[in-house]
Amino acid sequence: MELFTPEFGLVFWMFVAFLCLYFILAKWAWPFIIKSMEERADKIDKGVAYYQEAEARLSNAKAEADKLLAEARNEQADILREAAKMRNDLIEKARGDASIEAKKVTEAAQVSIEQARKESEKQLRLEVGELALQIAEKVIRRNIANDDAQKALVDQYLREVETKN
Amino acid sequence: MKSKIITAIVALVIVALMGWGYYSSAEHRAHGHAGELNPKETIFEHLGDAYGWEVPFNHSVRIPLPIIVWGQDGLHCFMSNRITGGETYDGFKLSTSEEHHGKVVQVMADGSEVRPWDFSITKNVAGILIAALLVIWMVMTLKRWYARNGMKAPRGGTGFLELVVDFVYGDTIRPILGKHAPKYAPYLLTAFFFILTMNLLGLIVIFPGGANLTGNIAVTLVLAVLTFLITTFSGTREYWKEILWPEVPMALKCPVPMMQLIEVLGMFTKPLALMVRLFANMMSGHMVVLVLVLLIFIFTNLFGVGVGIGTSIFSVAFTLFMLLLDVLVSFIQAYVFTILSTIFISMALVEPHHSEAE
């Protein structure tokens, strides 16, 4: 029965040892350890939440970036298309302007040519008239009965005029 | 991989040493008293306390421990090796009488033996102190880790310690006690680690271990009383009301306080169960190992050396199995004590439920 009888000395020392152990650990160890572990658990939880949020944000940002990129691409295509159109317009306009100008120049030239022609025609008529008068004068002056000889003379003068011109 | 193999080998060597130590100590005990085998005495001597600490392979030499007694004429202190050989020192000796067998007694003038107040640092007391120092060292190591490394997860032994703390506190104490957990956790965690260390120390046969600490009823008595005191002093009004005026039909509580009797009895049976459970589990583990070892000598005495050798093969196998099982039991019993204490405390912290408002 000795086994089931608590020994006084052992009870005493066990009590003392346990209380010392309790006060030492309760004062300097357990609260700190528990606090540290809970802080770490907290931090890990927060880290996971932060990570998930960051991941969501990242995917959002990616989607946004893709959207922006697509927009930029569209804009770029628009700008290019517009630029091409503008260039074509410019060329077209320039070409139109040029042809109008050319037409004007041509018309002016034609007008002046016409004028010159009319002038020269007038001149020519004057000259021809004069010439005819001269020819007639000469013909009359010779007074030769031969018609053929007269005709040849006229021809000769006319030819002279032609070569002058 | 290599380190795992080394760990396994070390573990095997330790386990083998455990078994071997049991053999040698049991053998010396078995043949210590004039060569006569007395299994009952051997077992009870091993399970009980002692003055001085045995060393393997030599039954006459013991590590001396201080004996502190308060006798009829005041305080006496001396080392245990002065009396463990059977001598009388300063009027004290180890009793051989039936009543105080193996304990220190003061021999009076008329030759009668009187048991003094015995505060001796016996083998078990020394074991308790060693266990307490080990616990302080372990827990402080963990604390230092947090102080130094903050948020980094500990590795190796400290990591295992953290795992155990987290299992006991995070998965047991906190869910059960809720907001009261920080207040009671130091006691429960201290109890857990102290019991676990004492359990495991008891399984090692040579010097720092070998004392059957938690298999001693005095040790479990103190632990159970502490749980009882904490439970009783944290009792809420509701807790006492449920004991003194429980919600049962009037006939069960009014003229004859039957329910009250049962409830008050329950206050005491709970810690009593804690005490006996831990004590019986740890003691029986030691006892089974001892019986298995002693079987060899019993069979040798009865049937000769040949049968003894044959028995030893089975004994060794079963002893190793029992020791490994005891390692498991050490953890389980420490945990069971802690979780039950937690539950008893949580029952004392009960708040009034709202069914009364109906």
Residue B329 has pLDDT above 70, yes or no: yes
Instruction: Give the CA distances from residue A14 to residues A22, B53, B120, B124, B144, in Å, rounded to whole numbers and listed in that order.
Output: 12, 18, 12, 9, 27
> Which of B217, B220, B225, B283 to substitute to test the interface with A, most A CBs within 10 Å?
B217
Q: What is the pLDDT of residues A58-108, one digit of tens each?
A: 999 999 999 999 999 999 999 999 999 999 999 999 999 999 998 999 898
| Shortest alpha-carbon distance between residue B141 and chain A (Å) | 10
3-state secondary structure of A10: helix
> Which of B46, B125, B184 to substitute to test the interface with A, most A CBs within 10 Å?
B125
From the centroid of its chain, how far is CA A127? Answer: 66
Nearest-by-CA chain A residue for B280: A4
CA–CA separation, B260 vs B263, rounded Å? 5
Question: Which residues on chain B are in Cβ contact (under 8 Å) with A8?
Answer: 117-118
Average pLDDT over residues B235-245: 85
> What is this model's ipTM?
0.84
Question: Which residues on chain B are in Cβ contact (under 8 Å) with A1?
Answer: none
Residues B272, B298 contacting (CB under 8 angstroms): no
Question: Which residues on chain A are in Cβ contact (under 8 Å) with B158?
Answer: none
pLDDT at B358: 37
CB contact under 8 A, B190 and A13: no
CB contact under 8 A, A11 and B139: no
Give the pLDDT band of residue A146 (cuts 50, 70, 90). Answer: low
Nearest-by-CA chain A residue for B194: A18
Nearest-by-CA chain B residue for A44: B151
Residues B153, A36 contacting (CB under 8 angstroms): no
* A12 contacts chain B (CB < 8 A): yes
| Shortest alpha-carbon distance between residue B212 and chain A (Å) | 11
Sheet holding B66-71, edge to edge: B74-79, B66-71, B117-118
Give the pLDDT band of residue B5 (cuts 50, 70, 90). Answer: confident
pLDDT at B244: 81
Q: What is the pLDDT of residues B9-54, one digit of tens each?
A: 776 666 666 555 555 555 555 444 445 678 888 888 888 888 888 8
B334, burial (CB in 10 Å: exposed 0-12, middle 13-18, buried 19+): buried
pLDDT at B32: 46
Specify the residue for token string 């770029």: A76
